[in-house]
Amino acid sequence: MASDDPRAVHARVGALAMALPQVEEKVSHGSPCWRVADKRMFAYFWHNHHSDDRTALLVKTSGIEEQEMLIDIDPDIYFKPPYLGPSGWVGIRLDQPDTDWEQVEHRLRESWRLAAPSKLAAMMEF
C-alpha cells in the first residue's frame, strides 16, 4: 500500500502500534509517536519532515550494526534518520509502491520489545 494520503498511512501504523501492550500515542517535537509503559518512545511517524518528501516510520534497532545492515540490504527503504540515527534508530519509508507491511509490523514489534520494560517484554512472544 503506497498512499498519497499520509493520514491513511499514519492510521495503519497507529493501529499496528496500538495493538501492542501498554502503548499510547503522543505528539513529540511535532510528530506522532508511540511509547510503551507511559515512558519509552519506540516509534515515530514522520511525513515530509523538514521538507524531505518522505513518509516514514522511525523505529529502534538493537544498535548501529543492525541499523547499518538494514540500510545496506535495502537503501531504498531504510535510512538513517536525523536526530535519532546516531542512537541506532532506522527510518522505514512508507511511501513506496511495494511497502512490505509484514516487515513494518515486525520492525515495530521489535522496537517495542527493545523499549518495553524487561518484565513486560518477557511476557510477549512474537
4 vs 53: CA distance, rounded Å: 11
- 3-state secondary structure (DSSP) of residue 15: helix
**High-pLDDT (> 90) share of the chain, %:** 81
- 6-123: which CATH topology? Aspartate Aminotransferase, domain 1 (3.90.1150)
57 vs 106: CA distance, rounded Å: 12
What pLDDT, in 10s, does the model give residues 12-35?
Answer: 999 999 999 999 999 998 899 999
What pLDDT, in 10s, does the model give residues 44-57?
Answer: 999 998 888 899 99
**pLDDT mean across residues, the chain:** 93
Quick one: pLDDT at residue 1? 44
Q: Where are the domains of the chain?
A: 6-123
43 vs 59: CA distance, rounded Å: 5
Question: Order of strands, edge to edge, in the sheet holding 40-47?
Answer: 23-28, 31-36, 40-47, 55-59, 90-93, 78-79
DSSP calls for 103-124: HHHHHHHHHHHHHS-HHHHHH-
What pLDDT, in 10s, does the model give residues 77-121?
Answer: 999 999 999 999 999 999 988 899 999 999 999 999 999 999 999
Grid-cell match 529502534, residue found: 60
pTM of this prediction?
0.93
